[in-house]
Amino acid sequence: MAEQATPTTGREWQLAARPQGWPTPADFTLVEAPVQQPGPGQILVRNAFLSVDPYMRGRMNDVKSYVPPFAIGAAMDGGAVGYVIASEAEGFEVGDAVLHGLGWREYATVDAARTVKVDPQLAPLSFYLGVLGMPGLTAYAGLLDVASFKEGDTVFVSGAAGAVGSLVGQIARLKGAKRVIGSAGSADKVARLVEDYGFDAAFNYKDGPVLAQLAEAAPDGIDVYFDNVGGDHLEAAISLLNVNGRATLCGAIAQYNETNPPVGPRNLALVIGKRLRLQGMLVGDHAARQQQFVAEMAGWLRDGTLTYDETVVEGVENTADAFIGLLRGANTGKMVVKL
């Protein structure tokens, strides 16, 4: 297989301590670590973009979950895209662009079977961490499959200016929603939802009770709720979901950094009479949708009917700050780190 001169060391982020509440820079350490040369069936990738995502906060706690926690003093991981610089794997050549799961570092030695080749000609490389990657598939499958969206539904999305939420609202609009409503945490984000993403209504959840603002935006109730936040947003949605309404429970960012028990929802009894369906989702269950999703999403990007935003932070040394900023809402659309 083709090879070129490869580095012997590279920088990687390690978890230094388990955060108590909100993460701080002291919880992370950037270290120089040996770069392992690829063995049979492996490739060495120079990462070009790293993903920071809300789910990573849960992995910093030492609790049993659907994905193992990060280990103290070991490299963290997450989505990344980059270029092959050495290959010992059939079908992978130096220069190939790949998507893989060993982010938070400059160089990754990864089993080729656990990577996906991507096409930088179809879309910018970073898009495979967002609109054409895990967040995009989450939005697509979470709305169409998990929430059983149908034309004419009124849809409410929380965290609607984020990587997933901004796409959920646009997919709903493109698929014939009657009305699309979003919540976000700043006036600028609210304006973007309506003016650029085509939401019919949006509100700043910091301006007043979520229930009152949602009721005003959805006088006829809602049929689908896509939940990225939990807490008072989920409680408000349960109150306003129509009979046989559906909710996709994708994230609960409102409580990721809380040290006290969550405040709600306190109205789950309404689920019974209204025959609501509240369903959790993990994107890994929806790999069968991947091909169709990429084809349809790339088409919408090409013809300009779908708007996609990225917040790009430069430099591997700023990855931890980017992640902390993400949790505090510093991003519009997908947050990525450019190496």
Residue 2's pLDDT band, with cuts at 50, 70 and 90, is very low
- The per-residue pLDDT for 254 is 75
- The per-residue pLDDT for 1 is 44
**Model confidence over 156-170: pLDDT tens digits?**
999 999 999 999 999
pLDDT mean over 20-39: 96
Q: How far is CA 266 from the centre of its chain?
A: 27
- The per-residue pLDDT for 3 is 46
**Model confidence over 75-92: pLDDT tens digits?**
999 999 999 999 999 999
Find the range with the poorest average confidence among 100-104, 251-255, 270-274: 251-255
Mean pLDDT of the chain, nearest integer:
95
Return the domain boundaries, the chain. 9-130+309-338, 134-284
- According to CATH, the topology of domain 134-284 is Rossmann fold (3.40.50)
CA distance 31 to 19: 19
CA distance 310 to 176: 25
- Please say if the pLDDT value at position 64 is more than 90: no
- The per-residue pLDDT for 5 is 67
Task: Decide yes or no: CATH 3.40.50.300 for domain 9-130+309-338.
Answer: no
pLDDT mean over 234-262: 90
Whole-model pTM: value is: 0.89
pLDDT mean over 221-233: 96
- The per-residue pLDDT for 260 is 80
CA angle in degrees (0–180, nearest 5) for 299-130-138: 85
CA distance 28 to 22: 13
